């Protein structure tokens, strides 16, 4: 049986929005890669080792997310163009609670 | 006339090249040939979460199939390239076809180095490189089984960690006197040895393997003059570059396909990227890298050069390894004569070792210490000089040093 899927909207830096379905348990980085959404490089494939999967989470969704782990927190400390709403999308797992989440993508991951 | 690009090898570098060629505006035809039964996938999880069983197969693929369709890339899987005919600019495939190219990228990766000792071809002796390899291992990788791991490098130790977690009885045999000896500092080797022993892994250092014994399958491993019982053997003793196509085509090869800073071989129509290459690194030494970073960055540089936007490849190499809850992150290339500076304490399971060369940061090894890793990587890129006392001073945050 395949896991349920929930909606995610990724908005490119230029404003183009993509609403797609991501399977429960997959990371929001994998959701973007699977749907060929430009703007997420994910060089390390989700190992929390590259910080090229940064997203900006819309404020109303912030509190629904699990807190940042120490590794994510520090990686973000040193990533380019970090904002208070920044997260590493490979560390966020899709779940019913995140159905409909909106993520803005940075101009560049490097 | 639009040009025609052929890529041999459908792995990390091949996939990146397709992506970069299109994003750099290449409009011609792209054909990618791969001898595995799958489209390009990531290998790092194979010895980590995929073996552990917490990462399902569909997640391994670097891109969905629609990527290749949308990019207009003809992907020929389960097909191998047999020869390159440079005079005619064609590639001969295993199905007898000839593919014409204007430009060719060799992204053939590396293959595992095989053991050559008595009994080395017994059933039950595994290697780990491909999805097929893990699938073969998975069926016997069960709680209570005795696994003998030959080689205390990254792959052997990642498998040891997964094995310990899954309840296997794990023994690692390493010929050198410390773990990951070719890749990391003695401090890290000692730290990882202690962590593995804490998890119940038995380490046999300075213990070269002499042979295997068994009937239908392997039952015993002979090493360091002793005999040990084993149900499974996993060998991780390094890789050799897949450069034979290039060798037969008369391209320059020295344990790897020799390329310049634009990932170009000696033939102006042929480039190469990833594990199969050898290049002069940013510090002027001839090197062969086996990591995702090099596959991605070299493929990007090959694509740039192919579309006439050549740029010098001088990115700092980086790498990671996951063992237990420890994330090891490495940037730069260490050399034996480097001065080592430790920051933080291994007892805290969070520390880093910096390698200074002529007062400048040349490499950093960080365990659960991403700040040290990221700032260290930036320092390497910038060739930053720093006093060892400052680096080691935990009262100064990393951020202030960058
Ligand atoms: C178990 C494992 C764990 C790893 N962990 C890490 C890690 O944590 N971090 C990291 O940075 N790196 C890691 N690596 C290394 C990393 O996966 C490689 O550096 C990377 O895959 C290299 O990419 P590549 O494109 O050069 O080669 P590959 O991805 O190996 O692709 C080359 C492809 O070409 C095919 N091929 C070869 N010859 C031919 C031919 N004649 N015709 C057609 N096809 C051909 C091969 O079969 C292969 O599919 C790991 C590797 C392994 C095996
Ligand atoms: S994909 Fe590398 S840190 Fe998220």
Which DSSP letter does residue B92 get?
E
Per-residue pLDDT of A27-67, as tens digits, reads 999 999 999 999 899 999 998 888 999 999 988 998 899 99
Per-residue pLDDT of B64-119, as tens digits, reads 999 999 999 999 999 999 999 999 999 999 999 999 999 999 999 999 999 999 99
- Chain B residues touching A34 at Cβ < 8 A: 64
Separation of alpha carbons B272 and B150, rounded Å? 31
Average pLDDT over residues B334-349: 95
Which DSSP letter does residue A5 get?
E
Average pLDDT over residues B340-344: 98
Per-residue pLDDT of B152-166, as tens digits, reads 999 999 999 999 999
Which of A47, A52, A72, A88 has the most B C-beta neighbours within 10 Å, making it the best mutation to test the interface with B? A47
- Residue A17 Cβ inside 6 Å of ligand 2? The answer reads no
HSE-CB of B379 using CA atoms within 13 angstroms: 27
Q: With CB atoms and an 8 Å threshold, state whether B318 touches A49.
A: yes
Q: Which of A49, A75, A77 sits opposite B399 (nearest CB)?
A: A77
- Chain A residues touching B70 at Cβ < 8 A: 36
pLDDT at B2: 76
Q: Which of B66, B322, B371 sits opposite A74 (nearest CB)?
A: B371
Residues with CB under 6 A from ligand 1: B 8-14, 33-36, 43-44, 46-47, 80-81, 107-109, 128-129, 155, 242, 245, 274-276, 290-293, 295, 319-321
DSSP structure string for A48-98 = SSS---EEEE-HHHHTTSPPPPHHHHHHHHTSTT--TTEEEGGG-B--GGG
Would the pLDDT of B330 be above 80?
Answer: yes
Would the pLDDT of A1 be above 70?
Answer: no
Average pLDDT over residues A78-95: 93
Report residue B19: phi and psi, to 5°.
Answer: -60, -45
Direct distance between the N- and C-terminal alpha carbons of chain A, in angstroms, rounded to an integer: 38
| Residue among B293, B296, B298 nearest B263 (CA) | B298
- For the ranges A44-58, B86-100, B203-217, B236-250, which has the lowest average pLDDT? A44-58
Q: Tell me how many domains chain A contains.
A: 1
Flag whether residue B66 sits within 8 Å of chain A, measured between CB atoms: yes
Separation of alpha carbons B45 and A42, rounded Å? 14
Instruction: Output the six-digit token pair for B118.
Output: 């008595």
Q: What is the overall mean pLDDT for chain A?
A: 92
- Residue A44 Cβ inside 6 Å of ligand 2? The answer reads yes
Per-residue pLDDT of B170-199, as tens digits, reads 999 999 999 999 899 999 999 999 999 999
Q: Which of B293, B370, B402 sits opposite A75 (nearest CB)?
A: B370
HSE-CB of B164 using CA atoms within 13 angstroms: 21
Element (H, E) at B135: helix B131-138
Identify each DSSP E strand in B313-402 by its residue range.
Answer: 318-323, 326-332, 339-345, 350-357, 360-367
Average pLDDT over residues B247-274: 98
B59 to each of A23, B55, B215, B302, B323, how far by Cα in Å?
A: 11, 7, 38, 27, 20
Separation of alpha carbons B187 and B340, rounded Å? 9
How many angstroms is it from B111 CA to the middle of ligand 1?
A: 8
- By the 10 Å C-beta count (0-12 exposed, 13-18 middle, 19+ buried), B25 is classed as exposed
Instruction: Output the six-digit token pair for B171.
Output: 């023994």
Strand A101-104 vs strand B277-280: parallel, antiparallel, or unpaired? Answer: unpaired
The Cα angle at residue B320 between residues B316 and B325, in degrees rounded to 5: 150
Average pLDDT over residues B317-336: 96
- By the 10 Å C-beta count (0-12 exposed, 13-18 middle, 19+ buried), B266 is classed as middle
Residue B299 contacts residue B109 (beta carbons within 8 Å)? no
How many angstroms is it from A89 CA to the middle of ligand 2?
A: 7
Which residues, in sequence order, are CB contacts of B61 under 8 Å at separation 6+? B38, B39, B40, B41, B42
How many angstroms is it from A88 CA to the middle of ligand 2?
A: 7
Q: Which of B44, B296, B371 sits opposite A47 (nearest CB)?
A: B44
pLDDT at A79: 84
Q: With CB atoms and an 8 Å threshold, state whether A45 touches B44.
A: yes
Residue B258: count other Cβ atoms within 10 Å of its Cβ.
21
pLDDT at A58: 86
- Chain B residues touching A3 at Cβ < 8 A: none
Residue nearest to atom 35 of ligand 1 (CA): B9
**What are the start-end ranges of the H helices in B237-394?**
244-248, 292-306, 370-382, 388-392
Residue A25 contacts residue A94 (beta carbons within 8 Å)? yes
Q: Is the dihedral of CA A48, A51, A52, A58 positive or negative?
A: positive
Residue A93 belongs to what domain range?
Answer: 5-109
Q: What percent of chain A has pLDDT over 70?
A: 99
**What are the start-end ranges of the H helices in B203-341?**
244-248, 292-306
- Chain A residues touching B374 at Cβ < 8 A: 51, 74-75, 77-78
Q: What is the pTM of this model?
A: 0.96
Flag whether residue B227 sits within 8 Å of chain A, measured between CB atoms: no
Which chain A residue shows the shortest CA-CA distance from B59?
A: A30
B399 pLDDT band (50/70/90 cuts)?
confident
- Residue A37 Cβ inside 6 Å of ligand 2? The answer reads no
Residue nearest to atom 50 of ligand 1 (CA): B44
pLDDT at B256: 98
HSE-CB of B342 using CA atoms within 13 angstroms: 15
Separation of alpha carbons B129 and B1, rounded Å? 40
Instruction: Output the six-digit token pair for B44.
Output: 């790092």
Flag whether residue A26 sits within 8 Å of chain B, measured between CB atoms: yes
Per-residue pLDDT of B343-387, as tens digits, reads 999 999 999 999 999 999 999 999 999 999 999 999 999 998 999
Flag whether residue A90 sits within 8 Å of chain B, measured between CB atoms: no
Report residue B352: phi and psi, to 5°.
Answer: -145, 155
Separation of alpha carbons B204 and B160, rounded Å? 13
From the alpha carbon of B239, which atom of ligand 1 is closest? 53
| Residue among B23, B8, B1 nearest B300 (CA) | B23
Would the pLDDT of B1 be above 80?
Answer: no
CATH number, domain at A65?
3.10.20.30
Q: With CB atoms and an 8 Å threshold, state whether B374 touches A75.
A: yes
Identify each DSSP E strand in B86-139 by its residue range.
Answer: 90-93, 98-100, 103-106, 110-112, 125-127
């Amino acid at each position: 049986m395949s896991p349920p899927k929930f909606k995610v909207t990724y908005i490119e830096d230029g404003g183009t929005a993509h609403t797609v379905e991501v399977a429960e348990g997959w990371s929001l980085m994998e959701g973007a890669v699977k749907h060929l959404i430009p703007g997420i490089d994910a060089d390390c494939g989700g190992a929390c080792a590259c910080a090229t999967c940064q997203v900006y989470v819309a404020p109303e969704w912030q509190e629904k997310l699990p807190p940042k782990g120490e590794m994510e927190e520090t990686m973000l400390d040193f990533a380019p163009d970090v904002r208070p709403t920044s997260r590493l999308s490979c560390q966020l797992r899709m779940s019913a609670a995140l159905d409909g989440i909106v993520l803005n993508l940075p101009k560049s991951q490097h | 006339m639009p040009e025609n690009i052929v890529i041999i090898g459908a792995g990390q570098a091949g996939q990146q090249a397709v992506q970069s060629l299109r994003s750099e505006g290449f409009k011609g035809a792209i054909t990618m040939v791969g001898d595995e039964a799958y489209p390009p996938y990531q290998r790092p999880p194979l010895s980590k979460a995929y073996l552990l069983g917490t990462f399902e197969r569909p997640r391994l693929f670097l891109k969905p199939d629609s990527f290749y369709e949308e990019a207009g890339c003809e992907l020929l899987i389960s097909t191998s390239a047999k020869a390159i005919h440079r005079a005619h600019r064609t590639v001969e495939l295993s199905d007898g076809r000839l593919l014409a190219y204007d430009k060719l990228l060799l992204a053939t990766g590396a293959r595992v180095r095989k053991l050559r000792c008595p009994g080395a071809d017994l059933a039950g002796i595994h290697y780990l490189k491909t999805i097929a390899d893990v699938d073969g291992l998975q069926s016997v990788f069960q709680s209570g089984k005795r696994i003998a791991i030959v080689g205390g490098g990254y792959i052997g130790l990642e498998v040891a960690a997964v094995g310990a977690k899954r309840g296997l009885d794990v023994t690692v045999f390493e010929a050198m006197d410390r773990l990951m000896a070719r890749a990391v500092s003695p401090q890290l080797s000692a730290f990882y040895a202690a962590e593995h022993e804490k998890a119940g892994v038995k380490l046999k250092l300075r213990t070269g393997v002499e042979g295997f014994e068994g009937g239908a399958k392997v039952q015993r491993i002979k090493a360091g003059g002793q005999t040990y019982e084993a149900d499974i053997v996993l060998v991780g003793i390094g890789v050799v570059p897949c450069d034979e196509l290039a060798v037969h085509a008369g391209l320059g090869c020295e344990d790897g396909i020799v390329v310049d800073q634009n990932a170009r071989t000696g033939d102006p129509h042929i480039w190469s990227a990833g594990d199969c290459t050898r290049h002069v690194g940013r510090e002027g030494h001839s090197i062969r890298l086996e990591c995702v970073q090099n596959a991605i960055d070299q493929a990007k540089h090959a694509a740039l050069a192919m579309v006439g936007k050549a740029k010098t490849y001088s990115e700092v190499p980086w790498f990671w390894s996951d063992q237990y809850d420890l994330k090891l992150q490495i940037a730069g290339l260490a050399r034996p004569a480097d001065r080592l500076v430790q920051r933080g304490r291994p007892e805290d399971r969070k520390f880093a070792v910096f390698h200074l060369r002529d007062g400048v940061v040349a490499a950093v090894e960080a365990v659960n210490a991403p700040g040290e890793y990221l700032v260290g990587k930036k320092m390497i890129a910038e060739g930053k000089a720093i006093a060892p006392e400052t680096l080691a001073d935990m009262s100064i945050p990393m951020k202030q040093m960058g």
